[in-house]
Structure 1
Amino acid sequence: MTEAVLVDMIHGCGPRCTAASLPEDEPATPSHVFLLCGTGDAWLSACSSSVHVLDSGSTVERLYRFKQTVDQLDLSSVRVYTTPRGRDVLLLYQQQLFTEVYTFHYHVDHRPTCPGCAGPAHSAGDPPGGDDVDQVEQQVSRFLQQLPALRGGVRVLTSSLIPECFGHGFSTRSGGVSSIPSLSSLNLFSSSRRRDPEAVVTENRRRLGLHAGFYPRPLRLVKVDHGSHVWVVGRAEPERYDAMVTDRPGVVVGAPGADCMTILLADQRKRVIGAAHAGWKGTLMGVAMATVGAMVTVFGCRVTDIVVAVGPSVGGCCFTLNRDQINDFTRIHEDCVSDPESDRPHVNIRLANRVLLQRGGVLPEHIHDDMETERSSVTPCTSCHPEDFFSHVRDGPNFGTQVGFLWIRGRD
């Protein structure tokens, strides 16, 4: 398996010291070798052109460039040659800049190979403490904050149906710092299966919050389970849920999506809001009406007062299911499936949600989706617009995530 080799020359005594830690069977010029070293070393001019020299900028900047190159090469296995102290330090940066997609193998040299090696670099020393962790976290945060935005500035879609007493929006993919093509650039969700670390996603959320006006309040996203469970903010939080409701001013609720619908709900009279994630499974389980139901039963909302905005999501033009999965949609409404005899019928989950909401008592004119033609669209097809939105259907498993978000503004 092809891997990257990172040779740490910062936390040793010099090139000879680090070279001594390389195994004898290591090729003279293995592919994808990276040298993490100081500036102004004359010996660097002798390095092969195939060796990547990381010798400028802060440690964060060098390791971030290393990660970007590893991502461009589509590598995930990294072999690191360093000292005990170097390993302790690099592990802190690894936790900030990488995810579980990457596998790091540390080869640590404990041998004193030159007079200077008897110093602290080759001794185990104390493990990094809380101050070290905080310092690296702050360094990474400051570095990411000064990076230029990719794909232009942050842009959000807003619904004219949501009253002004609420702040809200649906994010697009522009204005963030995620550099991996399928995640570029305002990816707002991190997981162990993606290459975007939490630090990058946190910076993207900060930029979204500054643009939308809710920063420094945190963005609270539902913990997707593709079901219909609704969490009432303030009560014991379940491990997984696909919607949340609240009447607390300033709490920013949100739902992620990358084809699945992000649905925002608001009642101006009661000043209550909700956010829901609705994929095809959640749609069939009734997550949209479950959210409406929680607003009614917990906060005393009237169904006819609730307005609903449906964010960017995959349209019936691009979303398909197996034939044995469409019957529940045709039972909701025959127009939910445009080609039922096809091997992979196209399914309109937006229409299914509209029908279910209207059956539950939400007024048709209180639903802003792609069937609403008198308002600016907030429900374009994510798969059809690669420049604006992330899409699982289009991009496969390495997809990014946009969000719908909503909060209650404080009273003047």
Structure 2
Amino acid sequence: MVEAVLIDLFSLPANLQNNIRGLLHNILETIEKCSSIPAPLVYVICCQRQGTERNGEQEFLLPALRDFQSLKKRLEVVHALTTAAALYTIKQRLDEKDLSIVKVILPTLRKDLMKVYIDHLFTAVYQFEFEDLQVATDCKNLQIAEPWSEEQRLPTQDVALIRSEIQTYLESLPSLNGELTILRSSLIPGDIFLHGFTTRTGGISYIPNLSSCNLFSSSKRRDPQVVVKENLRRLADAAGFDPETFHRVKIDHANAVCIMGKTEPDSYDGIVTNQKGITIAAPGADCIPVLFADPVRKACGAAHSGWKGTLLGVSMATVNAMVSEYGCNVKDILVVLGPSVGPCCYKLPHESAKEFHRIDPKCVRLFDSANPYVDIRRATRILLESGGILPENIQDDSITDQNQNITFCTACHPDKFYSHFRDGTNFGTQIGFISIKD
């Protein structure tokens, strides 16, 4: 069932505007007549020419719009300087109402262009059906069809122009919910390494659970890759690294480690490098983003350590990769545990909690309950120390700093951090990142 209709009049020349009135009238009449109650939302996008008043530009549409009382509150004319700006505005309206099934009525010549814009600005959460801009004569035109999957037919240079337009528009947007904030550890020497842990503020993601500096996109979330890329660009600008030489782990919740410069595994939760200027990163939205630094051999690493990865020893696997690949001495390696869900909030089923109890009974609270509280940070520290990392070379603020400089509980601080445990499946993600300075 169509939830919203987008009528694209963006690039129609002025000499066609008189003809469009009747056409638009017929389209709206069909929508009003054929839709279930309530009628779908209708968005009409038009080009707002620079130096013109919006009211003047809207005049040619008014005769076609004023007759539709049932659609009056559900119809919006969206003026914008670019298609990217118009579509992003409509995406915000859809997301506010949690809508995702959209019919796009547009000139045939605009179809391939529009598909590129949609492919970049939306994710697989949304379904789109396309219809040529012509008089709709029956109700079946409003039924949703299969999502489009045609081969891209636009010339490469046109696609590049669209990407550039989208990027320019996103770069122009203001940061949301405060300034971009980077947490840094005093344990890692700043003269050798660039590093930090992000919080949730200072990006452009506007969906509440993803607001505002979300750094991960997937087909199941409403934040598209272009928005995440812009958030990363702003982070890179603030932190001082090159987003073009940025590499994050490809999460598998296991213990594989990628060695930068060698064949990249299909998935891995640890990554190490000794190359200057390469920024490596691990995400976390309850799972621990762990950073590793050896100031003697000038090598570094990052790992994503959830409860499964913790039990599988991903942190020590990352340490061992630094030792075997770069000749690091385990006693020189510094380890910082980033923002992650704390033992105050995190629960696991009893069977999983038993594995942490075997590492150390103190890793589990209320062990006899169906869902005991689990301390994945303590388990990580114990496994690192067992592998030879010096206790004084591990920063976990839940035990080393009562002021909580870095290792905050993500679930306890909704203003600062994303949390899968707290927010559910449509959650945002922060990262820990590190690189060797030139």
Segments of 5+ residues of structure 2 without an aligned counterpart are 49-56, 67-71, 136-151
Match of 2:5 in 1: 5
Match of 2:145 in 1: none
1:388 paired with 2:416, answer: yes
Whole-Å Cα distance in 2 between the matches of residues 24 and 151 of structure 1? 41
Match of 1:123 in 2: none
Q: In percent, how many aligned pairs have the same letter?
A: 44
Root-mean-square deviation (CA, aligned residues, Å) is: 2.1
Indicate which of 155, 172, 175 corresponds to 1:146: 172
Whole-Å Cα distance in 2 between the matches of residues 216 and 188 of structure 1? 12
Match of 2:209 in 1: 182
Q: How far apart are residue 230 of structure 1 and its match?
A: 0.5
1:82 paired with 2:109, answer: no
| Aligned partner of residue 35 in structure 1, secondary structure | strand
Match of 1:205 in 2: 232
Match of 2:78 in 1: 54
- CA deviation profile, 1:328-372 (whole Å, cap 9, x unmatched): 100100010011011211000000000000011100000001211
Alignment of 1:266-285 (within 5 A): 266-285=293-312
| Aligned partner of residue 222 in structure 2, secondary structure | coil
Amino acid at match of 1:278: S
| Aligned partner of residue 119 in structure 2, secondary structure | helix
Q: How far apart are residue 137 of structure 1 and its match?
A: 0.4
Whole-Å Cα distance in 2 between the matches of residues 379 and 41 of structure 1? 53
Amino acid at match of 1:66: I
Match of 1:214 in 2: 241
Indicate which of 127, 130, 134 corresponds to 1:103: 127
Indicate which of 365, 371, 379 corresponds to 1:338: 365
Q: How far apart are residue 22 of structure 1 and its match?
A: 3.7
Q: How far apart are residue 152 of structure 1 and its match?
A: 1.1
Q: Is the 8 A contact 1:322 1:344 kept in 2?
A: yes
Match of 1:196 in 2: 223
- CA deviation profile, 1:106-157 (whole Å, cap 9, x unmatched): 112478xxxxxxxxxxxxxx94211110001000101111111001111011
Alignment of 1:99-138 (within 5 A): 99-109=123-133, 127-138=153-164
Q: Is the 8 A contact 1:18 1:81 kept in 2?
A: no
1:91 paired with 2:124, answer: no
Q: How far apart are residue 36 of structure 1 and its match?
A: 1.2
Residues 243 and 22 (structure 1), Cα distance of their counterparts in 2 relative to 1, 3 Å cut: same
Alignment of 1:160-309 (within 5 A): 160-164=186-190, 165-309=192-336
Amino acid at match of 2:235: L
Q: Is the 8 A contact 1:226 1:279 kept in 2?
A: yes
Whole-Å Cα distance in 2 between the matches of residues 168 and 86 of structure 1? 45
Whole-Å Cα distance in 2 between the matches of residues 128 and 217 of structure 1? 26
Q: How far apart are residue 376 of structure 1 and its match?
A: 5.5
Q: Is the 8 A contact 2:236 2:242 kept in 1?
A: yes
- CA deviation profile, 1:348-406 (whole Å, cap 9, x unmatched): 00000000000111000000012112785211000000000000000000100100000
Q: Is the 8 A contact 1:8 1:18 kept in 2?
A: no
| Aligned partner of residue 373 in structure 2, secondary structure | coil
| Aligned partner of residue 331 in structure 1, secondary structure | helix
Q: Is the 8 A contact 2:232 2:243 kept in 1?
A: no
Q: How far apart are residue 58 of structure 1 and its match?
A: 2.1
Match of 2:147 in 1: none
| Aligned partner of residue 383 in structure 1, secondary structure | coil
Indicate which of 156, 163, 186 corresponds to 2:182: 156
1:34 paired with 2:61, answer: no
Q: Is the 8 A contact 2:123 2:222 kept in 1?
A: yes
| Aligned partner of residue 215 in structure 2, secondary structure | coil
| Aligned partner of residue 219 in structure 2, secondary structure | coil
Whole-Å Cα distance in 1 between the matches of residues 115 and 125 of structure 2? 15
Match of 2:24 in 1: 19
Q: Which moved more, 1:35-44 or 1:68-77?
A: 35-44
Amino acid at match of 2:4: A
Whole-Å Cα distance in 2 between the matches of residues 290 and 66 of structure 1? 46
Q: Between Structure 1 and Structure 2, which shows a larger proportion of helix residues? A: 2
Whole-Å Cα distance in 2 between the matches of residues 35 and 230 of structure 1? 50
Match of 2:433 in 1: 405
Whole-Å Cα distance in 2 between the matches of residues 219 and 318 of structure 1? 32
Whole-Å Cα distance in 2 between the matches of residues 59 and 219 of structure 1? 30
